[in-house]
Protein backbone atom coordinates (compact mmCIF):
# COMPACT_ATOMS: atom_id res chain seq x y z
CA UNK A 1 0.00 0.00 0.00
CA UNK A 2 1.44 3.35 -0.93
CA UNK A 3 0.10 6.64 0.27
CA UNK A 4 1.66 10.06 0.35
CA UNK A 5 0.81 13.37 1.88
CA UNK A 6 -1.20 14.40 4.92
CA UNK A 7 -4.63 13.89 3.39
CA UNK A 8 -3.93 10.19 2.81
CA UNK A 9 -2.93 9.88 6.47
CA UNK A 10 -6.33 11.18 7.45
CA UNK A 11 -7.99 8.55 5.28
CA UNK A 12 -6.17 5.72 7.08
CA UNK A 13 -6.63 7.12 10.57
CA UNK A 14 -9.90 5.78 11.94
CA UNK A 15 -10.06 2.72 9.67
CA UNK A 16 -11.02 -0.46 11.50
CA UNK A 17 -8.54 -3.36 11.63
CA UNK A 18 -9.84 -6.93 11.25
CA UNK A 19 -8.55 -10.49 11.24
CA UNK A 20 -11.25 -12.36 9.35
CA UNK A 21 -14.59 -11.34 10.90
CA UNK A 22 -12.97 -10.29 14.19
CA UNK A 23 -12.38 -6.60 14.81
CA UNK A 24 -8.92 -6.20 16.35
CA UNK A 25 -8.64 -2.42 16.60
CA UNK A 26 -8.67 0.90 14.81
CA UNK A 27 -5.90 2.86 13.08
CA UNK A 28 -4.78 5.68 15.39
CA UNK A 29 -1.78 6.81 13.35
CA UNK A 30 0.75 5.77 10.73
CA UNK A 31 4.52 5.42 10.56
CA UNK A 32 6.07 6.51 7.27
CA UNK A 33 9.43 5.85 5.71
CA UNK A 34 11.24 9.21 5.89
CA UNK A 35 12.68 8.93 2.36
CA UNK A 36 9.90 7.41 0.26
CA UNK A 37 6.91 8.61 2.29
CA UNK A 38 5.41 5.12 2.11
CA UNK A 39 3.28 3.98 5.02
CA UNK A 40 5.32 1.27 6.75
CA UNK A 41 3.19 0.63 9.84
CA UNK A 42 -0.18 1.51 11.32
CA UNK A 43 -0.54 2.26 15.02
CA UNK A 44 -3.39 0.62 16.94
CA UNK A 45 -4.41 -0.42 20.43
CA UNK A 46 -5.90 -3.85 20.99
CA UNK A 47 -6.93 -6.35 23.61
CA UNK A 48 -8.27 -5.92 27.13
CA UNK A 49 -5.10 -4.10 28.26
CA UNK A 50 -5.23 -1.73 25.26
CA UNK A 51 -1.63 -2.46 24.22
CA UNK A 52 -0.37 0.07 21.69
CA UNK A 53 1.59 -1.46 18.78
CA UNK A 54 2.83 -0.64 15.26
CA UNK A 55 1.48 -3.22 12.80
CA UNK A 56 3.64 -3.75 9.68
CA UNK A 57 1.83 -2.98 6.42
CA UNK A 58 3.15 -6.31 5.11
CA UNK A 59 0.54 -7.93 7.36
CA UNK A 60 -2.33 -6.13 5.58
CA UNK A 61 -3.87 -8.46 2.99
CA UNK A 62 -6.88 -6.35 2.00
CA UNK A 63 -7.87 -2.73 2.49
CA UNK A 64 -10.56 -0.19 1.79
CA UNK A 65 -10.72 3.42 3.04
CA UNK A 66 -12.54 2.26 6.19
CA UNK A 67 -11.19 -1.25 6.77
CA UNK A 68 -7.82 -3.05 6.90
CA UNK A 69 -7.79 -6.85 6.99
CA UNK A 70 -4.71 -8.51 8.47
CA UNK A 71 -3.31 -11.88 7.47
CA UNK A 72 -2.35 -12.48 11.12
CA UNK A 73 -4.36 -12.57 14.33
CA UNK A 74 -3.98 -10.97 17.72
CA UNK A 75 -1.44 -13.60 18.84
CA UNK A 76 1.01 -12.12 16.30
CA UNK A 77 0.28 -8.64 17.68
CA UNK A 78 1.41 -9.93 21.09
CA UNK A 79 4.94 -10.29 19.65
CA UNK A 80 5.17 -6.61 18.64
CA UNK A 81 6.91 -4.04 20.83
CA UNK A 82 4.84 -1.52 22.77
CA UNK A 83 4.66 1.93 21.15
CA UNK A 84 4.77 5.32 22.81
CA UNK A 85 1.43 7.09 23.05
CA UNK A 86 1.89 9.42 20.07
CA UNK A 87 -1.61 10.04 18.72
CA UNK A 88 -0.65 11.73 15.45
CA UNK A 89 1.07 10.60 12.29
CA UNK A 90 4.79 9.97 12.58
CA UNK A 91 7.27 10.43 9.74
CA UNK A 92 10.21 8.51 11.25
CA UNK A 93 10.72 4.82 10.53
CA UNK A 94 10.10 2.62 13.57
For residue range 15-66, what is the model confidence (pLDDT) as tens digits? Answer: 999 999 999 999 999 999 999 888 899 999 888 888 899 999 999 999 888 9
Range of the domain at 32: 6-77
Provide mean pLDDT across the span 58-75: 91
Query: What's the CATH code of the domain at 73?
Result: 2.30.30.240
Q: Is residue 38 part of a domain?
A: yes
- Number of folded domains that form the chain: 1
Tell me the whole-structure pTM to 2 decimals.
0.76
Residue 1 is assigned to a structural domain of this protein: no
In a domain, 69, yes or no: yes
Count each helix (H run) and each strand (E run) in the chain, helices first.
2, 7
What pLDDT was estimated at residue 5? 46
Give me the helices (H) in 1-94, please. Answer: 6-12, 74-77
Amino acid sequence: MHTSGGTDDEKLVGAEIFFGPTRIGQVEGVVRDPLSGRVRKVITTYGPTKRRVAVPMEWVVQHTPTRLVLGVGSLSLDDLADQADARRTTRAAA
